[in-house]
Amino acid sequence: MIRRLSLLMVAAASAAALVACSNSTSPSPTLQSIAISGTAPVKGASIQFTATATYSDGSTKDVTSTATWATSDATIATVSATGLVTGVGDGTATITATFSTSSTSDPIQITG
C-alpha cells in the first residue's frame, strides 16, 4: 500500500511539472530592424529587391511580400508592391521598405 501511494505521488508530481512547463509562456520576439537587399538595375531592366526582418531573439523572416515599398523618384526608378525595382531614367533614387514599425532605405544609381 505504501509503495502504491509512493508511485501515485511520483506520478502526480510528474504530471504537475509537465502541466507547469506546458503552461509557461515566453515573451514573443519583437521586431528590431529590417534590411533590404538588391542591386540597382540598368535603365529599362528590373531587379527583385528583398526585405528581411530581424527579431530580438536573433531570428529573421523574409517580409518582401508584406513590406510596403516606395521610391523617392519614379522618373528614375519605380518599385512594385512586391519589391520589383525597375530602372526608368538616369540618376539616383532611394528605395524604401517599411514593415510594421521599422523602415530602411537604399539609394540606387540608375544608368543607361
Residue 89 has pLDDT above 70, yes or no: yes
Q: pLDDT tens, 47-86?
A: 999 999 999 999 999 999 999 999 999 999 999 999 999 9
Q: What is the 3-state secondary structure (H, E, C) of the chain?
A: CHHHHHHHHHHHHHHHHHHHHHHCCCCCCCEEEEEEECCCCCECCEEECEEEEEECCCCEEECCCCCEEEECCCCCEEECCCCEEEECCCEEEEEEEEECCEEEEEEEEECC
Residue 106: inside a domain: yes
pTM metric for this prediction: 0.75
Domain tally, the chain: 1
Residue 83: inside a domain: yes
Residue 92: inside a domain: yes
CATH of the domain at 39: 2.60.40.1080
Residue 23: inside a domain: no
Mean pLDDT of 22-28: 71
